[in-house]
Amino acid sequence: MKALLQRVSYAEVEVDGKKVAQIGLGLLVFLGVARGDGESEAHSLAAKAANLRIFPDQEGKMNCSLLEIGGEALVVSQFTLLARSRRGRRPDFLEAAPPEEAGRLYWSFFSALQGLGIRTQAGTFQARMKVSLTNDGPVTILLDNREN
C-alpha cells in the first residue's frame, strides 16, 4: 500500500462537474492499494499519515502532526501509484489490487483515519475525478508500507 501525502491549505474533488469533497488545512492523501495488502497495512499506514510530523510548529519547523494541528484529510483512490514503468513506454498496473479488494481497503484506511478523530472526506472510488489543491510548502511525502 502506498500513500502520497500532500500538505495542503485547501483541496477538493469534483466528479462529473460536481464537488463531492473539500477540505481546508490538512492532508490530501492519494492511496494506492497493492495485491496482498490487508487490514493491518491500511490501519498502520493511516496511523503513520496521521502522526507524521510535517506541519509547522510556532517556530516554523516541521514538528507537528495532522492530529496535533486538528487538520482534515481528503482520501483519493489512485491505483496508478502502483504503476511499474521499468520496461517499455506503457506502465503496467499488475501490482495494483483488484477493484473489489482495493475498495474494501480504501474504506478501511478512510475509517482508520476517522477513528483517530480526523475529519475525513473521500473522493469517489473508481470514478474519473478532478482534484484541485493548494500544496502548502510544498510538502509531498510518499509512504510505502512495503519499505518498512
CATH number at residue 88: 3.50.80.10
**Active site (annotated) includes residue 6:** no
Flag whether pLDDT at 148 surpasses 70. Answer: no
Is 147 a domain residue?
no
Of 6, 30, 55, 79, the catalytic one is: 79
Euclidean distance between CA atoms 89 and 109, whole angstroms: 32
**Active site (annotated) includes residue 78:** yes
Of 6, 30, 55, 78, the catalytic one is: 78
Flag whether pLDDT at 61 surpasses 80. Answer: yes
Among 19-23, 87-91, 116-120, 121-125, whose mean pLDDT is lowest?
87-91
**Active site (annotated) includes residue 80:** yes
pLDDT for the residue 78: 95
Distances (CA, A) of 113 to 30, 54, 58, 87, 93: 14, 16, 25, 36, 26
pLDDT for the residue 122: 97
- H-assigned helices in 13-73: 39-51, 66-69
Mean pLDDT of the 107-123 span: 98
Is 148 a domain residue?
no
Cell of 70: 486538528
Flag whether pLDDT at 147 surpasses 80. Answer: no
Instruction: Count the domains in the chain.
Output: 1
What is the torsional sign of CA 79, 80, 81, 83?
positive
